[in-house]
Structure 1
């Protein structure tokens, strides 16, 4: 095991930007109003399990269905691109179904809002560059922050205010857009090299 603070910090920041739990506070609050209660522990743990399992099994699952990591990463780059556009322009491209209180903690909260295509693609990309133990620590740290944010989302909204949330959302949107472009450029090049 080789722990590297720089790797952990970088992986943590990339995942934090992709998951965008602060930017998702308005969605979380809206969801809480719709269903009445969100199980913060359940949503955080399930999201963490999905991310760590995908970190280990993602490549295998993709090869079983005949999809390369580069293809998946390019698809993920598109998703990240559209999520970033949503954040920057304040538009809604992803239409969520009506959910019951029972499933809201899992869907759409744990998946795909927290552990969605964006974060799963990012995990595969990070795995190509960083050591797996550092990525796991970054995931666990993000899950802890997700739990805290889910537990205190209404207090955070009151503290930061709607304008504050909008500013944070736009800043992370630009960061995410840059990540999407980098992910696309790197993997599309690798795809054409394969072909």
Structure 2
């Protein structure tokens, strides 16, 4: 499995950029409650990635969607996410919705905010899921698919470390440092998004691929 998949997922999920949200939503939590939130959020992120890798292609087949079409749509979604990140916003932010406010209300009522909004949509949302499905289709062997699921473990561990060290990270990087890191990841993601879209368009319109090769 190409390690480009791991780089792409790290760029999209970008746990350090979610640290300020984690600090905000866990204000007033006891140490045990905050630790529980870290574990649940990290494990849920892994579950989302693993489920997308194992069942994503079957879901596409069920709805009769070609992978090429999904690559173009997924690439556009990644490009949109990268534009968010270039504006120093988390990749999965949805400005037109009230999911973050709803998450805060749930926290106030004592419900866990580890799944919503920390994991979904801030950490792993549509862009993350579509990326995993695209790379899952490229897996030629069970080992390669297992490696992709293993990348989910890496993402979960990075998330757990960032959330567990949220306060030190926020102090060291500061908001400016987090914004710079988010923009850098956004630039990388934009390039990867164009590559995914180009591959999908080449499958949908073979003439484009021949034109690119000069033939």
Indicate the TM-score class for this superposition, using the shorter chain for normalisation. Answer: 0.7 to 0.9
User: 2:209 aligns to what?
Assistant: none
User: 1:47 aligns to what?
Assistant: 45
**Cα 1:115/1:90, change in 2 over 3 Å:** closer
How far apart in 1 are the matches of 2:28 and 2:196? Answer: 35
Matched position secondary structure for 1:23: helix
Deviation digits for residues 29-66 of structure 1 (CA, Å, limit 9, x no counterpart): 34335999651111111121121011011011122122
**Which deviates more, 57-66 or 95-104?**
95-104
User: 2:83 aligns to what?
Assistant: 85
* Contact in 2 for aligned 1:35/1:104 (Cα 8 Å): no
Taking structure 2 as the reference length, the TM-score comes to 0.76
- The number of residues matched between the two structures is 187
Structure 1 residue corresponding to 2:186, chosen from 164, 173, 185 = 173
User: 2:19 aligns to what?
Assistant: 25
User: 1:94 aligns to what?
Assistant: 94
* Contact in 1 for aligned 2:45/2:155 (Cα 8 Å): no
* Contact in 2 for aligned 1:84/1:174 (Cα 8 Å): yes
* Contact in 1 for aligned 2:45/2:152 (Cα 8 Å): no
- Gaps in structure 2 of 5+ consecutive residues: 207-215
Give every structure 1 segment of 4 or more consecutive aligned residues whose post-TM-superposition deviation is greater than 6 Å: 34-37
Q: Is 1:69 aligned with 2:82?
A: no
Q: Is 1:124 aligned with 2:129?
A: no
How far apart in 2 are the matches of 1:11 and 1:25? Answer: 23
- Gaps in structure 1 of 5+ consecutive residues: none
- The structure whose Rg is larger is 2
Deviation digits for residues 64-100 of structure 1 (CA, Å, limit 9, x no counterpart): 1222223223222222212211111246862242221
After superposition, the CA RMSD in angstroms is: 2.4
* Contact in 1 for aligned 2:45/2:119 (Cα 8 Å): yes
